[in-house]
Chain A
Amino acid sequence: MQPTRQQLEDALKSLRDPRLRYADVRYTRTSQQHLRVRNGEVDHLSESVEEAIGIRVLVGDGWGFAASSDPSEASLRRTAARALEVAAASNIAATRAVQLSDLEPCVASWASKYVIDPWSIPIAKKIDYLRAATEPMRSDARIHQAAGDLSVFRQEKAFASTIGSYIEQTTTQMGAGIEAVAIAGDEFQRRSHPNSFGGDFQAAGWEFVEALDLPARAATCRDEAIALLDAPKAPAGRFDLIVGSSQLALQVHESCGHPTELDRAMGLEISLAGGSFLQPGMLGSFRYGSDLVNIVADATIDGAIGSFAYDDDGVAAQRFHLVENGMFTGYLTGRDTAPEIGRASNGTVRAETAARIPIIRMTNINLEPGTTKLDDLIADTKHGILVETNKSWSIDDLRLNFQFGCEAAWEIENGRIGRLLRNPLYTGITPEFWRSCDAITDQNSWHLWGLPNCGKGDPMQTMRVAHGAPYARFRDVEMG
């Protein structure tokens, strides 16, 4: 049961340490439902409800954090005491001063929007939908697996802090997708819609799933998976590369979103996730991409799964540039990192649940649309490759050397789409790649993709983020 505001504030008042500088307390109730239909069977059907409390204290220059899955009043007080004990330990080995950027208190309440509550839809209807979306894929013996996923996520959160803020927020999200796997001999090919790894996700209700109209896309998934079995292997060499919207969204995630996290740039995540090639001294002077490249962090977009009203520091959601006209101009920051670059927090600190420490996370990191129509981009490409839908991803610890594999590719010859190609791989160095971008398509081919599985932190925290991306062309990219 959710603690009352008074109980949360009483937990903060119970913190007695003369060196206490700041504290906050959070409660989360996270409800999830996941369904997977595979080859006509319900392969997985689960519901979970998890509650958590977390108390974070700054004592001297030592942070302490304690969490519990028990949200009772007695547990709140015990957890507060443990947070102080942990902070005292931090002070034993703390060697750096902690500064917090200024923040005004606020009292607020926010909820994401939806039309049809996902939990109002009976499970039977959801299963029927997935069966209707996967059955057409099973009509060919070469299809070894026809699967559909549907997931529902809701998180209710309460936050109180010693500066006097009290914020309640609720987000409701849905996601769905289908995939066909074709096998012949040692050849294994997968085709997904609308995206791989569970499909697409929005802060929305059942209306989002209906709009995806997955049953109408099943036959195309099946046919492309089968066609890939006999398609020629994508060539190795250097090509002009057109990257499709969902793959470009992941490219933005890995090669711009992560390296603009200020905690990474400061080395705070280097032991596990790595650092960043984008160092603070490069702000405003480093050419990240061509003039066409504008990348914006925007936590205020209705319907995006990386949106919220206030982050877990209690800072209001914001929109700002990370890359403007190709120049590196901004980081994602929090209250205890922004002062390192002389700025105020831009509100990107979040935790997976109240049982985890809030850290800098992507919000909705979007490549802004350009002015080129997609048809014109293809018509303008003499000899190139178009890649669609992510299959694999890997990038080094500074976010420089990347390699992506995609589900499918097509030749482009003399401005026309040609043969289907299997197993395309492309690789590059982040700033060289983005500087080679010479065309970005317009709003008509721009889509906001939800990625519910961004991993960071230790213990690992899975965060829900989104990326808007159109299609874009990159010159002279290494493939194979």
Chain B
Amino acid sequence: MKSRDESLDVLRRALKVAGGDEADASFISVDQNITRFANSNVHQNMSEESAWLTLRIVADGAVGVASSSSFDDASLARTAELAREAARHAGTTQGFAGLYRGGDGQPALATWDEATAQLAPAAKAEALRDMFASGRAAGVDFAGVYSTGRTAAACANSHGIERYATATHSDATAIAIGPRGSGYATARSRRASDVSIAALGERAISRATLLADVHEELAPGTYDLIIEPAAIAEVFEWLGMIAFTGQSYEDGSSFLVGANGRKLFGENVTIADDATDESFLPFPFDLEGVAKRRVPIIERGVAHAPVVDKMYADRLNLPLTGNCWQLGSSEHGSAFHLSMDAGDSSLEEMIASTKLGIWVTRFNYVNGLLEPRTALMTGTTRDGTFLVRDGRVAARLPNLRWTQSMTEAFANVESLSRDRQIIGTWYNPFGGTIAPTIKVRDWHITGKQATGSPGPS
């Protein structure tokens, strides 16, 4: 990971050779250690030290972008030439008023934990070894991943903006796999001390062994669904792509189009992009240098505007939200810190209030491209799907397929838990999702994994 001086040196040299009318650049450096395990055995273990520069040049209203992992003067000159060449031919971008010129101070946020930054591969392996032993005692094997890392992100532009911040992360997932069922647990934080491998193992075991000998099936139909945060995060990842970007707002595919100020969901649904919440995964600015703030997308059921980068804030005449996480991205705004407000219930209370329903730990392979205007999605459940009957958890269910409009689902949220959980996302090094457990009425179950399939459910 590069220091402030090293990072800003690369950025200043890149901007010096950029040319054009305006230019900005981002420089990311990452040190990360990722340990993967399966069958209670470490089978992949890696350490990476990488850095890359992205340079964007604006000339006559046209934009070109180039990136490189080499930062000597000759490589920077070559990168600048590629970006200039791109800008020369790109043509004017309508409505773009130019790069960010500053004016806001970045929030002071606790993003760094020295113990996490210094955590050695051996210490992680020892924690995993102990979890494997606890699994053997409980009759389960473990699979999953344990990642830690440190990131430095810097950006600068030709209007004098310079930003630099560092962040640490610790992220682990454990699946306990027993002969009659599997259980899932996950955690993510800026601090490794918040991610207890032993606790994750215990939670996964408890889910894998819950009602392990009691299996039932359920016919397709509509059911009340109790959805844990990991499953909500899968849905939010897709909403982030199909509904909350500047691109989806402009191209008409987002359900937010024409809905600004209109009540779409119940009073109990509030969804925001919030990188300033220190109990989540805080980060002080986006890669255009815009200071982060809480951006409501759905507030008490009422739709707001999507998140945008500077180009689409200008173009769509929307407030600048600070959501550029890749210079030149076609998404023109990505909600990398999706936060759903908590409620006043609990998982236990949701189960107790359910006559006939399903408690879901995690979704699998969600796809949100079926009918984007209603956010119609499909996916399956996995690693812990339970039948709830007469206020009690009654049996394990096979993995189920569902096909559900999310605009309908978020209008049918009956209750939300007081506790929220952070869930990491593979494509998002800066943030993730924080959400409570929610109970939704009338969720559409459309099929199941084949009867007698060889894996755990």
Which A residues are closer than 8 A to B by beta carbons? 36, 41-52, 62-70, 79, 82-83, 85-90, 92-96, 122-124, 127, 144-145, 181, 183, 186-188, 266-272, 274-275, 277, 279, 355-357, 359, 391-398, 400-401, 403, 405, 423, 425, 427, 429, 432, 458-460
Quick check: is B122 within 8 A (CB to CB) of the other chain?
yes
- Residue of A50, A69, A268 near B49 (CB, 8 A) is A69
> Hey, which chain B residues are within 8 Å of A405, CB to CB?
367, 369-370, 378
Interface string of B43-85 (1 = CB under 8 A from A): 1111111111000000000111111111000000011001101
Given A50-B68, A86-B121, A271-B36, A69–B86 Cβ distance below 8 Å? no
> Hey, which chain B residues are within 8 Å of A391, CB to CB?
369-370
**Residues 312-367 of B at the A interface (beta carbon under 8 Å):** 328-330, 364-367
- The CA-CA distance from A310 to B78 in the complex, in Å, is 31
**Residues 439-457 of B at the A interface (beta carbon under 8 Å):** 446-450, 453-455
> Mind listing 17 A-B residue pairs with CB under 8 Å?
A44-B329, A46-B64, A49-B68, A63-B44, A65-B44, A79-B49, A86-B47, A89-B124, A268-B44, A274-B364, A357-B46, A392-B378, A395-B380, A397-B365, A397-B380, A400-B449, A458-B147
The answer to whether A92 and B129 have CB atoms under 8 Å apart is: yes
Given A41-B91, A85-B121, A65–B50 Cβ distance below 8 Å? no
Of all chain A residues, the one with the shortest Cβ separation from B451 is: A429
- The CA-CA distance from A44 to B62 in the complex, in Å, is 10
> Hey, which chain A residues are within 8 Å of B39, CB to CB?
95-96, 266-268
> Hey, which chain B residues are within 8 Å of A85, CB to CB?
47, 121-122
> Hey, which chain B residues are within 8 Å of A65, CB to CB?
44-47
The answer to whether A92 and B89 have CB atoms under 8 Å apart is: no
The answer to whether B65 and A46 have CB atoms under 8 Å apart is: yes
- Residue of A67, A122, A279, A429 near B48 (CB, 8 A) is A67
- The CA-CA distance from A369 to B173 in the complex, in Å, is 42
Quick check: is B379 within 8 A (CB to CB) of the other chain?
yes
> Hey, which chain A residues are within 8 Å of B50, CB to CB?
52, 67-69, 355
Given A45-B65, A96-B41, A270–B86 Cβ distance below 8 Å? no
> Hey, which chain B residues are within 8 Å of A423, CB to CB?
370-371
The answer to whether A398 and B70 have CB atoms under 8 Å apart is: no
> Hey, which chain A residues are within 8 Å of B38, CB to CB?
266-271
> Hey, which chain A residues are within 8 Å of B143, CB to CB?
267, 270-271
The answer to whether A92 and B145 have CB atoms under 8 Å apart is: no
The answer to whether B370 and A51 have CB atoms under 8 Å apart is: no
- What's the nearest-Cβ distance from chain A to residue B40, in Å? 6
- The CA-CA distance from A425 to B49 in the complex, in Å, is 44
The answer to whether A396 and B380 have CB atoms under 8 Å apart is: yes
Quick check: is B128 within 8 A (CB to CB) of the other chain?
yes
- The CA-CA distance from A87 to B42 in the complex, in Å, is 10
Of all chain A residues, the one with the shortest Cβ separation from B66 is: A47
The answer to whether A88 and B48 have CB atoms under 8 Å apart is: no
Q: Which of A79, A95, A275, A400 has the most CB of B within 10 A?
A: A95
Given A45-B64, A94-B42, A395-B365, A89–B373 Cβ distance below 8 Å? no
The answer to whether A392 and B68 have CB atoms under 8 Å apart is: no
> Hey, which chain B residues are within 8 Å of A69, CB to CB?
49-52, 69
> Hey, which chain B residues are within 8 Å of A269, CB to CB?
38
Q: Which 5 pairs between the two chains have the least Cβ-Cβ distance?
A: A89-B121, A92-B125, A42-B90, A69-B50, A46-B65
